[in-house]
Chain A
Amino acid sequence: MKISVLFIGLLFFSQLAIGMVKKNYPDTIFDLSGSSFEKEYIVDVDPGQDRFGFSLKGKITKGNLKVDVLDPDGNRRCGFGLKTTDENGKQLDAQAKGVGEDFYDDPIPGKWKIRITSSKAKGYLKMSIKN
Protein backbone atom coordinates (compact mmCIF):
# COMPACT_ATOMS: atom_id res chain seq x y z
CA MET A 1 0.00 0.00 0.00
CA LYS A 2 2.73 2.43 1.06
CA ILE A 3 4.79 1.57 -2.01
CA SER A 4 1.89 2.20 -4.37
CA VAL A 5 1.15 5.58 -2.70
CA LEU A 6 4.84 6.46 -2.98
CA PHE A 7 4.87 5.41 -6.64
CA ILE A 8 1.77 7.48 -7.50
CA GLY A 9 3.22 10.48 -5.66
CA LEU A 10 6.51 10.14 -7.51
CA LEU A 11 4.69 9.90 -10.85
CA PHE A 12 2.58 12.96 -10.05
CA PHE A 13 5.54 15.13 -9.05
CA SER A 14 7.64 14.02 -12.01
CA GLN A 15 4.81 15.01 -14.39
CA LEU A 16 4.46 18.32 -12.55
CA ALA A 17 8.19 18.96 -12.92
CA ILE A 18 8.09 18.17 -16.66
CA GLY A 19 5.11 20.49 -17.03
CA MET A 20 7.01 23.29 -15.29
CA VAL A 21 9.97 22.96 -17.63
CA LYS A 22 7.98 22.68 -20.86
CA LYS A 23 4.39 23.46 -21.79
CA ASN A 24 2.75 20.22 -22.60
CA TYR A 25 0.12 19.94 -25.33
CA PRO A 26 -0.61 16.27 -25.75
CA ASP A 27 -2.06 15.01 -29.02
CA THR A 28 -5.79 15.46 -28.92
CA ILE A 29 -8.28 13.35 -30.82
CA PHE A 30 -11.79 14.70 -31.21
CA ASP A 31 -14.29 11.97 -31.84
CA LEU A 32 -16.89 13.63 -34.03
CA SER A 33 -20.19 11.94 -33.36
CA GLY A 34 -22.47 13.82 -35.74
CA SER A 35 -23.28 16.79 -33.51
CA SER A 36 -22.88 20.47 -34.35
CA PHE A 37 -20.57 22.68 -32.31
CA GLU A 38 -17.93 25.39 -32.41
CA LYS A 39 -14.88 25.08 -30.16
CA GLU A 40 -11.76 27.15 -29.76
CA TYR A 41 -8.55 25.56 -28.60
CA ILE A 42 -6.03 28.11 -27.30
CA VAL A 43 -2.27 27.57 -27.58
CA ASP A 44 0.07 29.97 -25.77
CA VAL A 45 3.23 30.99 -27.59
CA ASP A 46 5.70 32.72 -25.30
CA PRO A 47 7.76 35.77 -26.30
CA GLY A 48 11.18 34.60 -27.45
CA GLN A 49 9.91 31.13 -28.34
CA ASP A 50 11.90 30.12 -31.41
CA ARG A 51 9.57 27.56 -32.96
CA PHE A 52 5.92 26.66 -33.08
CA GLY A 53 4.09 24.15 -35.23
CA PHE A 54 0.93 22.16 -35.52
CA SER A 55 -0.54 19.29 -37.44
CA LEU A 56 -4.27 18.81 -37.92
CA LYS A 57 -5.72 15.71 -39.50
CA GLY A 58 -9.42 15.17 -40.03
CA LYS A 59 -11.53 12.63 -41.81
CA ILE A 60 -15.30 12.60 -41.97
CA THR A 61 -17.94 10.43 -43.54
CA LYS A 62 -20.93 12.64 -42.79
CA GLY A 63 -21.67 16.33 -42.30
CA ASN A 64 -19.23 19.19 -42.68
CA LEU A 65 -16.14 20.21 -40.72
CA LYS A 66 -14.10 23.40 -40.70
CA VAL A 67 -10.79 23.92 -38.93
CA ASP A 68 -9.05 27.30 -38.83
CA VAL A 69 -5.78 28.32 -37.22
CA LEU A 70 -5.68 32.01 -36.26
CA ASP A 71 -2.58 33.84 -35.10
CA PRO A 72 -2.74 36.28 -32.14
CA ASP A 73 -3.46 39.15 -34.59
CA GLY A 74 -6.54 37.31 -35.82
CA ASN A 75 -5.09 36.39 -39.23
CA ARG A 76 -6.08 33.01 -40.58
CA ARG A 77 -2.80 31.13 -41.02
CA CYS A 78 -3.92 27.66 -41.96
CA GLY A 79 -6.98 25.47 -42.03
CA PHE A 80 -9.20 23.34 -44.15
CA GLY A 81 -12.80 22.47 -44.69
CA LEU A 82 -14.37 19.12 -45.37
CA LYS A 83 -17.79 18.75 -46.93
CA THR A 84 -19.74 15.56 -47.39
CA THR A 85 -23.09 17.30 -47.76
CA ASP A 86 -24.08 19.86 -50.35
CA GLU A 87 -25.73 23.25 -49.73
CA ASN A 88 -29.15 21.62 -49.44
CA GLY A 89 -27.91 19.20 -46.79
CA LYS A 90 -27.95 16.27 -49.22
CA GLN A 91 -25.40 13.60 -48.35
CA LEU A 92 -22.81 13.08 -51.07
CA ASP A 93 -21.59 9.57 -51.67
CA ALA A 94 -18.13 10.32 -50.33
CA GLN A 95 -15.79 10.80 -47.45
CA ALA A 96 -13.41 13.70 -47.11
CA LYS A 97 -9.98 14.04 -45.57
CA GLY A 98 -7.99 17.11 -44.69
CA VAL A 99 -4.52 17.71 -43.35
CA GLY A 100 -3.10 21.06 -42.32
CA GLU A 101 0.51 21.42 -41.19
CA ASP A 102 2.65 24.44 -40.57
CA PHE A 103 5.79 25.41 -38.68
CA TYR A 104 6.92 28.88 -37.77
CA ASP A 105 10.36 30.02 -36.78
CA ASP A 106 10.19 32.98 -34.41
CA PRO A 107 6.37 32.82 -34.18
CA ILE A 108 4.17 35.73 -33.08
CA PRO A 109 3.86 35.44 -29.31
CA GLY A 110 0.41 35.36 -27.77
CA LYS A 111 -2.68 33.23 -27.95
CA TRP A 112 -3.00 31.19 -31.13
CA LYS A 113 -6.46 29.78 -31.70
CA ILE A 114 -7.53 26.56 -33.34
CA ARG A 115 -11.20 26.95 -34.17
CA ILE A 116 -13.17 23.81 -34.92
CA THR A 117 -16.65 24.09 -36.42
CA SER A 118 -18.63 20.91 -36.85
CA SER A 119 -21.91 20.76 -38.67
CA LYS A 120 -23.19 17.26 -37.91
CA ALA A 121 -19.73 15.95 -38.76
CA LYS A 122 -19.09 12.27 -38.17
CA GLY A 123 -15.49 11.09 -38.06
CA TYR A 124 -12.41 12.30 -36.19
CA LEU A 125 -9.98 15.16 -35.90
CA LYS A 126 -6.46 14.71 -34.57
CA MET A 127 -4.55 17.73 -33.35
CA SER A 128 -0.81 17.76 -32.56
CA ILE A 129 0.91 20.85 -31.23
CA LYS A 130 4.68 21.17 -31.44
CA ASN A 131 5.51 23.84 -28.94
Chain B
Amino acid sequence: MGLSLPLFRKFCPVLCSIFFGAYPCFAGSISGKIMLDSTWEQKVFLSYISQFSDLNVASEQFLISETKVAENGEFHFEDLDLNEGWRVYRLHCIKRGDPISTIFIGGREHNHFHFLFNPSAEASIESRSGNKLLKDLEEKNLQANKSLKRILELEEGYHSASRGSQAQKEIEKENYDKNLIRIADAAQLEILSLWCVYLLDPGRNYPAHSAWFSEFTSRDFDLVSYSKPIIDDIRSRELLDGPIENERTASWLVVITTTIISLGIIFYFAMAGRSKSKKPDLGSLTVQERKVFELIIQGKSNKEISQALHVELSTVKSHVNSIFGKLAVDSRATLMHLWLDN
Protein backbone atom coordinates (compact mmCIF):
# COMPACT_ATOMS: atom_id res chain seq x y z
CA MET B 1 0.00 0.00 0.00
CA GLY B 2 2.12 2.95 -1.14
CA LEU B 3 1.06 6.47 -1.93
CA SER B 4 -0.01 6.89 -5.55
CA LEU B 5 2.05 9.37 -7.62
CA PRO B 6 -0.65 12.09 -7.87
CA LEU B 7 -1.34 11.81 -4.14
CA PHE B 8 2.38 11.98 -3.39
CA ARG B 9 2.71 15.09 -5.58
CA LYS B 10 -0.21 16.68 -3.80
CA PHE B 11 1.18 16.17 -0.33
CA CYS B 12 4.85 16.61 -1.19
CA PRO B 13 4.83 20.42 -0.73
CA VAL B 14 2.99 20.02 2.58
CA LEU B 15 5.49 17.45 3.84
CA CYS B 16 8.37 19.63 2.67
CA SER B 17 6.90 22.59 4.50
CA ILE B 18 6.63 20.54 7.71
CA PHE B 19 10.24 19.35 7.54
CA PHE B 20 11.96 22.33 5.94
CA GLY B 21 9.69 25.22 6.82
CA ALA B 22 9.37 26.43 3.21
CA TYR B 23 9.12 25.13 -0.34
CA PRO B 24 10.04 27.86 -2.80
CA CYS B 25 9.92 25.66 -5.90
CA PHE B 26 7.38 23.04 -6.91
CA ALA B 27 7.67 19.97 -9.06
CA GLY B 28 4.75 20.14 -11.46
CA SER B 29 3.77 17.90 -14.30
CA ILE B 30 2.09 18.61 -17.59
CA SER B 31 1.07 15.88 -20.00
CA GLY B 32 -1.02 15.56 -23.09
CA LYS B 33 -1.47 14.27 -26.57
CA ILE B 34 -0.68 16.04 -29.78
CA MET B 35 -0.60 14.68 -33.33
CA LEU B 36 2.14 16.20 -35.46
CA ASP B 37 2.76 15.33 -39.09
CA SER B 38 6.24 14.81 -40.53
CA THR B 39 6.73 18.53 -41.33
CA TRP B 40 6.97 19.23 -37.58
CA GLU B 41 9.77 18.46 -35.14
CA GLN B 42 8.44 15.71 -32.89
CA LYS B 43 9.01 17.82 -29.81
CA VAL B 44 7.01 20.09 -27.53
CA PHE B 45 8.52 23.17 -25.90
CA LEU B 46 7.30 24.76 -22.68
CA SER B 47 7.78 28.47 -21.95
CA TYR B 48 6.97 30.57 -18.94
CA ILE B 49 5.31 33.86 -19.89
CA SER B 50 5.93 36.31 -17.06
CA GLN B 51 3.95 39.26 -18.44
CA PHE B 52 0.97 39.64 -20.76
CA SER B 53 2.85 41.77 -23.28
CA ASP B 54 5.01 38.70 -23.95
CA LEU B 55 2.07 36.48 -24.94
CA ASN B 56 2.95 36.70 -28.64
CA VAL B 57 6.68 37.12 -28.27
CA ALA B 58 9.17 34.44 -29.29
CA SER B 59 12.34 34.32 -27.25
CA GLU B 60 14.74 31.70 -26.04
CA GLN B 61 14.72 33.29 -22.60
CA PHE B 62 11.13 32.13 -21.95
CA LEU B 63 11.90 28.44 -22.56
CA ILE B 64 11.94 26.25 -19.49
CA SER B 65 11.71 22.73 -20.85
CA GLU B 66 11.28 20.54 -23.91
CA THR B 67 10.16 16.97 -24.34
CA LYS B 68 9.78 14.45 -27.13
CA VAL B 69 6.43 13.48 -28.58
CA ALA B 70 5.94 9.71 -28.64
CA GLU B 71 4.69 7.91 -31.74
CA ASN B 72 1.18 7.80 -30.32
CA GLY B 73 1.35 11.59 -29.81
CA GLU B 74 1.74 11.54 -26.04
CA PHE B 75 4.13 13.87 -24.26
CA HIS B 76 4.94 14.47 -20.64
CA PHE B 77 6.78 17.20 -18.74
CA GLU B 78 7.70 16.21 -15.21
CA ASP B 79 9.74 17.51 -12.32
CA LEU B 80 9.38 21.01 -13.61
CA ASP B 81 11.04 23.60 -11.43
CA LEU B 82 8.28 26.22 -11.37
CA ASN B 83 7.30 29.23 -9.32
CA GLU B 84 4.42 29.04 -6.89
CA GLY B 85 0.92 30.09 -7.88
CA TRP B 86 -1.12 30.28 -11.06
CA ARG B 87 0.92 31.64 -13.92
CA VAL B 88 0.82 31.74 -17.71
CA TYR B 89 2.66 29.10 -19.72
CA ARG B 90 2.97 28.44 -23.41
CA LEU B 91 3.28 25.13 -25.20
CA HIS B 92 4.67 25.31 -28.71
CA CYS B 93 5.97 23.18 -31.55
CA ILE B 94 8.20 24.10 -34.47
CA LYS B 95 8.42 23.13 -38.11
CA ARG B 96 11.52 21.17 -39.09
CA GLY B 97 14.40 23.58 -39.72
CA ASP B 98 12.88 26.49 -37.81
CA PRO B 99 14.60 28.09 -34.80
CA ILE B 100 13.37 26.94 -31.37
CA SER B 101 12.06 30.47 -30.77
CA THR B 102 9.41 30.49 -33.46
CA ILE B 103 5.89 31.79 -33.16
CA PHE B 104 3.16 31.27 -35.76
CA ILE B 105 0.00 33.27 -35.22
CA GLY B 106 -3.14 32.44 -37.15
CA GLY B 107 -3.49 30.17 -40.16
CA ARG B 108 -3.11 26.41 -40.27
CA GLU B 109 0.39 26.57 -38.87
CA HIS B 110 -0.56 28.31 -35.63
CA ASN B 111 1.99 26.64 -33.38
CA HIS B 112 1.26 27.47 -29.77
CA PHE B 113 -1.20 27.30 -26.91
CA HIS B 114 -1.35 29.45 -23.78
CA PHE B 115 -2.68 28.05 -20.54
CA LEU B 116 -2.68 28.65 -16.81
CA PHE B 117 -0.84 26.27 -14.57
CA ASN B 118 -0.18 25.86 -10.90
CA PRO B 119 2.60 23.39 -10.11
CA SER B 120 0.61 21.72 -7.39
CA ALA B 121 -1.99 20.75 -10.02
CA GLU B 122 -1.80 18.43 -13.01
CA ALA B 123 -2.50 19.67 -16.49
CA SER B 124 -3.70 17.57 -19.39
CA ILE B 125 -3.55 19.09 -22.84
CA GLU B 126 -5.24 17.60 -25.89
CA SER B 127 -6.89 18.66 -29.09
CA ARG B 128 -10.60 19.39 -28.61
CA SER B 129 -11.49 18.57 -32.20
CA GLY B 130 -9.21 15.62 -32.73
CA ASN B 131 -7.53 17.22 -35.72
CA LYS B 132 -3.88 18.14 -36.02
CA LEU B 133 -4.16 21.88 -35.62
CA LEU B 134 -2.38 23.27 -32.59
CA LYS B 135 -4.84 26.11 -32.26
CA ASP B 136 -7.47 23.56 -31.22
CA LEU B 137 -5.55 22.51 -28.11
CA GLU B 138 -7.34 22.61 -24.79
CA GLU B 139 -6.38 22.03 -21.16
CA LYS B 140 -9.01 19.67 -19.79
CA ASN B 141 -8.25 19.23 -16.10
CA LEU B 142 -8.21 22.64 -14.51
CA GLN B 143 -11.10 24.99 -13.80
CA ALA B 144 -8.76 27.98 -14.21
CA ASN B 145 -8.33 27.16 -17.90
CA LYS B 146 -12.07 26.76 -18.40
CA SER B 147 -12.49 30.30 -17.05
CA LEU B 148 -9.64 31.55 -19.23
CA LYS B 149 -11.25 29.92 -22.26
CA ARG B 150 -14.47 31.87 -21.60
CA ILE B 151 -12.50 35.13 -21.39
CA LEU B 152 -10.69 34.41 -24.65
CA GLU B 153 -13.96 33.45 -26.35
CA LEU B 154 -15.40 36.76 -25.19
CA GLU B 155 -12.46 38.57 -26.80
CA GLU B 156 -12.75 36.59 -30.02
CA GLY B 157 -16.49 37.20 -30.18
CA TYR B 158 -16.03 40.94 -29.72
CA HIS B 159 -13.43 41.19 -32.50
CA SER B 160 -15.32 39.02 -34.97
CA ALA B 161 -18.54 41.01 -34.42
CA SER B 162 -16.98 44.46 -34.62
CA ARG B 163 -18.69 45.54 -37.85
CA GLY B 164 -21.86 47.47 -38.47
CA SER B 165 -22.73 51.03 -37.60
CA GLN B 166 -20.77 53.20 -35.19
CA ALA B 167 -23.63 53.05 -32.66
CA GLN B 168 -23.67 49.22 -32.80
CA LYS B 169 -19.92 49.12 -32.34
CA GLU B 170 -20.14 51.37 -29.30
CA ILE B 171 -22.79 49.14 -27.71
CA GLU B 172 -20.69 46.02 -28.42
CA LYS B 173 -17.63 47.69 -26.92
CA GLU B 174 -19.57 48.75 -23.83
CA ASN B 175 -20.88 45.21 -23.29
CA TYR B 176 -17.45 43.70 -23.85
CA ASP B 177 -15.86 46.06 -21.33
CA LYS B 178 -18.65 45.47 -18.80
CA ASN B 179 -18.21 41.69 -19.06
CA LEU B 180 -14.45 41.95 -18.59
CA ILE B 181 -14.89 44.21 -15.56
CA ARG B 182 -17.48 41.84 -14.10
CA ILE B 183 -15.15 38.83 -14.51
CA ALA B 184 -12.16 40.80 -13.19
CA ASP B 185 -14.15 41.66 -10.04
CA ALA B 186 -15.55 38.18 -9.54
CA ALA B 187 -12.59 35.99 -10.48
CA GLN B 188 -11.11 34.01 -7.61
CA LEU B 189 -7.72 33.78 -9.28
CA GLU B 190 -5.63 36.92 -9.44
CA ILE B 191 -4.17 35.94 -12.80
CA LEU B 192 -7.66 35.85 -14.38
CA SER B 193 -8.51 39.32 -13.04
CA LEU B 194 -5.24 40.65 -14.38
CA TRP B 195 -5.79 39.00 -17.77
CA CYS B 196 -9.18 40.76 -18.02
CA VAL B 197 -7.63 44.13 -17.20
CA TYR B 198 -4.89 43.52 -19.75
CA LEU B 199 -7.62 42.93 -22.39
CA LEU B 200 -9.41 46.08 -21.23
CA ASP B 201 -6.27 47.93 -22.32
CA PRO B 202 -6.05 50.79 -19.79
CA GLY B 203 -3.71 52.69 -22.12
CA ARG B 204 -6.61 53.22 -24.57
CA ASN B 205 -9.70 52.84 -22.40
CA TYR B 206 -8.75 54.70 -19.25
CA PRO B 207 -11.18 57.64 -19.73
CA ALA B 208 -14.18 55.29 -20.09
CA HIS B 209 -13.51 53.43 -16.83
CA SER B 210 -11.19 55.74 -14.89
CA ALA B 211 -12.87 55.23 -11.50
CA TRP B 212 -12.79 51.43 -11.82
CA PHE B 213 -9.15 51.43 -12.99
CA SER B 214 -8.14 53.68 -10.08
CA GLU B 215 -9.88 51.39 -7.61
CA PHE B 216 -8.14 48.40 -9.26
CA THR B 217 -4.68 49.87 -8.61
CA SER B 218 -5.43 50.05 -4.88
CA ARG B 219 -5.71 46.25 -4.66
CA ASP B 220 -2.83 44.08 -3.44
CA PHE B 221 -1.30 41.75 -5.97
CA ASP B 222 1.07 38.83 -5.45
CA LEU B 223 1.86 38.38 -9.14
CA VAL B 224 3.99 41.48 -9.50
CA SER B 225 5.45 40.66 -12.92
CA TYR B 226 1.92 40.59 -14.41
CA SER B 227 0.34 43.38 -12.35
CA LYS B 228 3.13 45.97 -12.40
CA PRO B 229 3.02 46.83 -16.14
CA ILE B 230 -0.78 47.15 -15.96
CA ILE B 231 -0.74 49.30 -12.82
CA ASP B 232 2.08 51.46 -14.23
CA ASP B 233 -0.01 51.93 -17.37
CA ILE B 234 -3.08 52.99 -15.35
CA ARG B 235 -1.04 55.37 -13.16
CA SER B 236 0.55 57.01 -16.18
CA ARG B 237 -2.96 57.59 -17.57
CA GLU B 238 -4.07 59.01 -14.20
CA LEU B 239 -1.22 61.51 -14.36
CA LEU B 240 -2.08 62.45 -17.94
CA ASP B 241 -5.84 62.73 -17.47
CA GLY B 242 -5.88 64.06 -13.91
CA PRO B 243 -5.11 67.78 -13.84
CA ILE B 244 -6.99 68.65 -17.01
CA GLU B 245 -7.19 72.40 -16.29
CA ASN B 246 -3.47 72.61 -15.57
CA GLU B 247 -2.75 70.67 -18.72
CA ARG B 248 -4.86 73.04 -20.78
CA THR B 249 -3.15 76.08 -19.21
CA ALA B 250 0.23 74.49 -19.87
CA SER B 251 -0.67 73.79 -23.50
CA TRP B 252 -1.81 77.42 -23.99
CA LEU B 253 1.45 78.64 -22.47
CA VAL B 254 3.38 76.41 -24.88
CA VAL B 255 1.40 77.80 -27.86
CA ILE B 256 1.94 81.45 -26.80
CA THR B 257 5.64 80.95 -26.05
CA THR B 258 6.22 79.14 -29.35
CA THR B 259 4.40 81.89 -31.27
CA ILE B 260 6.46 84.65 -29.60
CA ILE B 261 9.73 82.82 -30.26
CA SER B 262 8.74 82.13 -33.89
CA LEU B 263 7.79 85.77 -34.48
CA GLY B 264 11.07 86.86 -32.88
CA ILE B 265 13.06 84.58 -35.20
CA ILE B 266 11.17 85.82 -38.28
CA PHE B 267 11.67 89.47 -37.21
CA TYR B 268 15.38 88.89 -36.61
CA PHE B 269 15.96 87.36 -40.04
CA ALA B 270 13.83 90.02 -41.76
CA MET B 271 15.88 92.79 -40.10
CA ALA B 272 19.11 90.99 -40.87
CA GLY B 273 18.05 90.70 -44.52
CA ARG B 274 17.17 94.40 -44.66
CA SER B 275 20.41 95.50 -43.06
CA LYS B 276 22.34 93.28 -45.47
CA SER B 277 20.50 94.73 -48.44
CA LYS B 278 21.15 98.24 -47.22
CA LYS B 279 24.84 97.83 -46.71
CA PRO B 280 26.50 95.69 -49.38
CA ASP B 281 30.14 95.28 -48.50
CA LEU B 282 31.67 96.00 -51.93
CA GLY B 283 34.95 96.70 -50.24
CA SER B 284 35.40 93.02 -49.63
CA LEU B 285 35.72 92.38 -53.39
CA THR B 286 39.14 92.07 -55.03
CA VAL B 287 40.12 94.34 -57.94
CA GLN B 288 39.32 91.64 -60.50
CA GLU B 289 36.00 90.82 -58.78
CA ARG B 290 35.01 94.51 -58.88
CA LYS B 291 35.63 94.53 -62.66
CA VAL B 292 33.48 91.41 -63.02
CA PHE B 293 30.83 92.97 -60.75
CA GLU B 294 30.63 96.09 -62.90
CA LEU B 295 30.25 94.03 -66.07
CA ILE B 296 27.51 91.90 -64.43
CA ILE B 297 25.45 94.96 -63.54
CA GLN B 298 25.82 96.09 -67.15
CA GLY B 299 23.98 92.90 -68.03
CA LYS B 300 26.95 91.08 -69.60
CA SER B 301 26.99 87.30 -69.76
CA ASN B 302 29.89 85.19 -68.46
CA LYS B 303 31.14 84.66 -72.01
CA GLU B 304 31.07 88.41 -72.74
CA ILE B 305 32.88 89.13 -69.47
CA SER B 306 35.61 86.60 -70.35
CA GLN B 307 36.08 88.26 -73.73
CA ALA B 308 36.09 91.74 -72.20
CA LEU B 309 38.63 90.86 -69.50
CA HIS B 310 40.63 88.38 -71.68
CA VAL B 311 40.31 85.56 -69.13
CA GLU B 312 39.04 81.98 -69.29
CA LEU B 313 35.30 81.36 -68.90
CA SER B 314 35.98 79.13 -65.86
CA THR B 315 37.86 82.00 -64.18
CA VAL B 316 34.85 84.29 -64.71
CA LYS B 317 32.54 81.65 -63.23
CA SER B 318 34.84 81.39 -60.22
CA HIS B 319 34.81 85.19 -59.73
CA VAL B 320 31.00 85.29 -60.07
CA ASN B 321 30.60 82.58 -57.41
CA SER B 322 32.99 84.41 -55.14
CA ILE B 323 31.04 87.70 -55.59
CA PHE B 324 27.73 85.92 -54.87
CA GLY B 325 29.25 84.48 -51.70
CA LYS B 326 30.74 87.71 -50.44
CA LEU B 327 27.58 89.75 -51.08
CA ALA B 328 25.27 86.96 -49.87
CA VAL B 329 23.18 86.80 -53.03
CA ASP B 330 22.15 83.81 -55.10
CA SER B 331 21.43 85.30 -58.53
CA ARG B 332 22.36 88.07 -60.93
CA ALA B 333 18.88 89.59 -60.51
CA THR B 334 19.39 89.97 -56.74
CA LEU B 335 22.80 91.44 -57.40
CA MET B 336 21.21 93.95 -59.75
CA HIS B 337 18.59 94.90 -57.10
CA LEU B 338 21.37 95.31 -54.58
CA TRP B 339 23.20 97.67 -56.85
CA LEU B 340 20.03 99.63 -57.77
CA ASP B 341 19.09 100.03 -54.05
CA ASN B 342 22.48 101.63 -53.42
Contact = CB atoms under 8 A, between A and B. Distances in A.
Given A75-B159, A75-B162, A102 B57 contact: no
Interface in A86-116: 86, 92-102, 106, 108
Contact of B104 (A81, A84, A99, A106): A99
Given A80-B105, A81-B54, A96 B60 contact: yes
Contacts of B57: 66, 80-83
Contacts of A77: 159
A78 interface: yes
A65 B223 CA distance: 26
For chain A, the bracket of interface size reads: 20 to 34
Q: Is the interface of A mostly helix, strand, loop or mixed?
A: strand
A115 B304 CA distance: 60
For chain B, the bracket of interface size reads: 20 to 34
Contacts of A106: 163
A79 interface: yes
A55 B159 CA distance: 19
B209 interface: no
Given A81-B58, A82-B57, A96 B101 contact: yes
Contacts of A74: 204
Contacts of A96: 58-60, 99, 101-102
B122 interface: no
A103 to B, nearest CB: 8
A59 B104 CA distance: 12
Interface of A: 59, 66, 71, 73-75, 77-84, 86, 92-102, 106, 108
Interface of B: 54, 56-61, 98-107, 109, 159, 162-163, 169, 204
6 contacts: A73-B169, A80-B103, A81-B59, A83-B59, A93-B60, A101-B106
